[in-house]
Chain A
Amino acid sequence: MRKLLFFIPLAVFLILGVVLYLQLGKDTQYMPSVLVGKKVPAFTLVSLQDDQVYTHQDLPTAPYLINFWGTWCPACHVEHPFLMALADSGVTIIGIDYKDKKDLAEQWLEQKGNPYQIVLMDEMGRFGMDMGVTGAPETFVVDGSGVVVYRHQGVVNAENWPDIKGYMK
């Protein structure tokens, strides 16, 4: 009986090995947010348009989207026209210019149009870290009471918009 005890470490290790094996090659990028069901984290960010300081208390009170983007992000170029269309149809979008340069961002909005109600600069990526973003574009749906209800990683387009829209209540 005592002898069997010494096999326990081996057994535990083998189970762990199987778990690690199953994880290999999986897409580790996809990650639903832990923020779902929680309030938008507190922040103090400067807006791109008028250099005013905004905090989480300045966010809209009706359902809206928070969109992380950057001029450095090729997928954001793809996403941009669809966001413009959404803005035209009356969806409120708060833009977070993520790890980006101010002059480049201004140029971008001037040339391509601005779908955002407010654009906040998150140059250090600190708010992005609080929100748990892993890249851009990423979009969060926030309900009227300021609670995050959904996270979408990657481009928002005509295909996945109906799903996302379902959360905007």
Chain B
Amino acid sequence: MFPEIGQFSLILSLFFALSLAFLPLIGYRKGNRFLLQSAQPLTFIMSALVLVSFVILSASFLMDDFSVLYVSQNSNSQLPVWYKFSALWGGHEGSLLLWVLVLSGWCSAVAIKVRTLPEDVGPVVLSVLGMICVGFLSFLLFTSSPFARLLPDVPADGGDLNPLLQDFGLIVHPPVLYMGYVGFSVAFAFAVAALITGNLNASWARWVRPWTAAAWAFLTLGITLGSWWAYYELGWGGWWFWDPVENASFMPWLAGTALLHSLAVTEKRGVFKSWTVLLAIFTFSLSLLGAFLVRSGVLTSVHSFAADPTRGMFILALLVVFVGGSLLLYAIRAAEVRSSVSFGATGREAWLLLNNILLTVLTLTVLLGTLYPLIFDALGLGKISVGAPYFNSVFTPIALLLIVFMAVGPLSKWHHTPFNVIFKVCSVAAVVAVLSAGLVVYCYEFGFTVWLSLAVAFWGVCLSFTDWFGKVSAGAKGIIPRARQLPRNYYGMLLAHLGMVVTLVGIVLVSVNSQESMLRLSPGDRARVAGYEFHFDQMEQVKGPNYVASKGQFTAYYANKVVAVLHPEKRFFTTRQQVMTEAALDAGFTRDLYVSLGERLDDSAWGVRIYVKSFVRWIWLGGLMMMAGGLLAALDKRYRKRTRG
């Protein structure tokens, strides 16, 4: 009975979404206030109905209702209760419901804030969001309903959740990632609303900025979590694989980063207007493209959902309607948008333009690498696959260049900054950076590329500090009162930029300074890796809730002192007859110890993989700093001013 209510509730919410997509727009056209004001309640009702379906599906999972096909495919009565809940988004249908739930959540958030927008702008934004909801709700209802039943032959037990997904990472990674992905639809809705109403000014940019910053922060966290999850769960010890699905989340991030910066220029200087709108459309399109690539089966990837051309067709149709429609609107209307103030070729806007160019190039680099196999095949040129070597060699130099300029931008002022002022500061920072990086490289015998990358990192830190110090030391008041006066927006930027530098340091050091050994060890054996001594103490059999495991115990010594006791496991999941490797980690600020069990070689000996990874945590620490920076910027006081009473 309940699953039918869930289904019915989804159908109802589709009707409300349809009304939301049309009524406020008609109201805008006819100047009807009643229709315009219907946008807010329609959004709330639609979201509430989606929430009802979501709660019902969660309940079906928690109560082991295997008469629901989706539950029987993705859950099992033996599954721990928190995985029963997260199994909801372990497959295509449920994750799409999560997507719709997150989307309706963002819609409600905009609806709550709609009073801070002019009377004829807010409802149009909600209306555009309503259209997106119509698209995804019909996708869910027509091709992938999670409430389909297995009646009358109800299975006694379910097929269990994929063991790879039975992990804390999976509980949090998809919801956070979707918060980011879907959050960019708010920026998109604002962009389309601006094209419809022709209302594209500095206050428009001020409305969009906090939404974009919030979505960007969530996406940053989502990608960081995904990378961390791949590192400890997949058992390969890598943290980024340039897999098509990783790229699918990375492209909106790059475009979204460009959007954040170009919005700043549009707000402060009133230029780049049509470019900013195009970037907002582009970012959202890349989110949709990601959904298409993951769910249509056109690319092979470790993350793909079951390939289904019908679903692919539906998302492609959504892509054509939303992206094609908005680009058509853009083509017709953008030429009418004029930039008001002149562009200062020597001011901060010039640096931000450079930032936008580089980020766009980076996005296109990743896009090309991801789609190249498809394009190549479609032209009948044969099959190829593009891997890490392409991305590493093309992406890295541009990204380094971007970080170099990233540090300079904040030092300059809007419109015009004398060249010699910047030059003086930069040359000092350059000397300091090159020398200190050189010292590190000399002491640890690293190569030239490390020198270059570390110099860029030191340069970033030097200039960020100089900028902050310059801002707090000028003027009569003391340093601390002045430091407190600087807006949250500024500290958000500073934190995100430093996060970028921290990630850079992590990436550089983990790739040159890590040690990896594959060994054959029996209990009682010892092995030395990178100055650490690993002692294989024992091996035991343990039983988990839905698996049995061989669990090893390793003690790591450094200079004859115990630093860590590690327990890698080899788990056998009984329902799916699948073996999973659980690597054991000892996390540290400057290094991770990583032990993972390979195959059993004979009665006592095991193939054991031991890594000592230096500074790998910094990659994710930087990600967290960027996320915090984004949130700080989104919460700046400036954005909370009301434009009408």
Contacts and interface: CB of A to CB of B under 8 A. Distances in A.
A46 B316 contact: no
Contact of B331 (A9, A24, A28, A121): A9
B312 A134 contact: no
B300 A134 contact: yes
Interface stretch (B122-130, B143-151, B317-325): B317-325
Contacts of A13: 285, 323-324, 327
A22 interface: yes
A42 interface: no
Contacts of A2: 335
Interface in A97-134: 101-102, 121, 123-124, 126, 132, 134
A14 B324 contact: yes
A20 B309 CA distance: 11
Contacts of B581: 124
A20 B324 contact: no
A51 B601 contact: yes
A20 B298 contact: yes
Contacts of B309: 24-25
B297 A28 contact: yes
Interface string A13-46: 1101101111111101111101000000000101
Contacts of A124: 235-236, 581, 598-599, 609
Interface stretch (B131-139, B265-273, B370-378, B456-464): B370-378
Contacts of B319: 17, 20
A19 to B, nearest CB: 5
Contacts of B609: 124
Contact of B374 (A19, A44, A101, A134): A19
Contacts of B296: 24
A9 B297 contact: no
Contact of B327 (A9, A19, A101, A134): A9
Contacts of A6: 274, 330-332, 334-335
B330 A23 contact: no
Given A19-B374, A32-B383, A123 B278 contact: no
B51 to A, nearest CB: 33
Contacts, number: 98
B382 interface: yes
B518 interface: yes
A34 B300 contact: no
Nearest to B379: A19
A17 B285 CA distance: 12
A124 B598 CA distance: 6
Contacts of B330: 6, 9-10
A57 B307 CA distance: 40
Interface footprint category on A: 35 or more
Contacts of A73: none
B163 interface: no
Contacts of A126: 236
Nearest to B319: A17
Contact of A102 (B235, B323, B599): B599
B378 A132 contact: no
B515 interface: no
Contact of B278 (A3, A9, A34): A9
Interface string B275-309: 00010011001000000100011111000000101
Contacts of B605: 51
A85 interface: no
A23 B285 contact: no
A10 B235 contact: no
A34 B384 contact: yes
Nearest to B579: A101
A23 B601 contact: no
A53 interface: yes
B197 interface: no
B515 to A, nearest CB: 15
B299 A20 contact: no
A7 B375 CA distance: 22
Contacts of A102: 599-601
B642 to A, nearest CB: 34
A8 to B, nearest CB: 8
Contacts of A29: 300
Contacts of A34: 384-385, 387
Contact of B607 (A16, A31, A123): A123
Contacts of A7: 331
B90 to A, nearest CB: 21
A20 B377 contact: no
A26 B377 contact: yes
Contacts of B278: 9
Contacts of B600: 102
A26 B299 CA distance: 10
Given A10-B331, A46-B607, A17 B579 contact: no
Contacts of B328: 10
Given A7-B331, A9-B331, A121 B599 contact: yes
B245 to A, nearest CB: 14
A123 B599 contact: yes
B81 interface: no
B153 interface: no
B173 interface: no
Contacts of B579: 101
A126 B378 CA distance: 31
B602 interface: yes
Contact of A32 (B281, B292, B307, B382): B382
Nearest to A21: B316
Nearest to A34: B385
Contacts of B282: 9
Given A13-B324, A28-B300, A51-B602, A22 B378 contact: yes
B384 A20 contact: no
A134 to B, nearest CB: 7
B316 A20 contact: yes
Contacts of A19: 371, 374-375, 378
A44 B150 CA distance: 48
Contacts of B298: 20, 23-24, 26, 28
Interface of B: 235-236, 274, 278, 281-282, 285, 292, 296-300, 307, 309, 312-313, 316, 319-320, 323-324, 327-328, 330-332, 334-335, 371, 374-375, 377-378, 382-385, 387, 518, 520, 579, 581, 598-602, 605, 607, 609
The 9 nearest A-B residue pairs measured at CB:
A123-B599, A25-B309, A10-B327, A7-B331, A23-B298, A6-B331, A3-B335, A19-B378, A22-B378
16 contacts: A2-B335, A6-B335, A9-B278, A16-B371, A17-B324, A20-B292, A20-B319, A21-B316, A23-B298, A24-B312, A24-B316, A32-B382, A121-B599, A123-B607, A124-B236, A134-B300
Given A17-B316, A123-B607, 17 more contacts: A6-B335, A9-B281, A9-B327, A10-B324, A10-B327, A19-B378, A20-B374, A23-B298, A24-B312, A24-B313, A24-B316, A34-B385, A44-B518, A101-B599, A121-B599, A123-B598, A124-B609
Interface of A: 2-3, 6-7, 9-10, 13-14, 16-17, 19-26, 28-32, 34, 44, 46, 51, 53, 101-102, 121, 123-124, 126, 132, 134
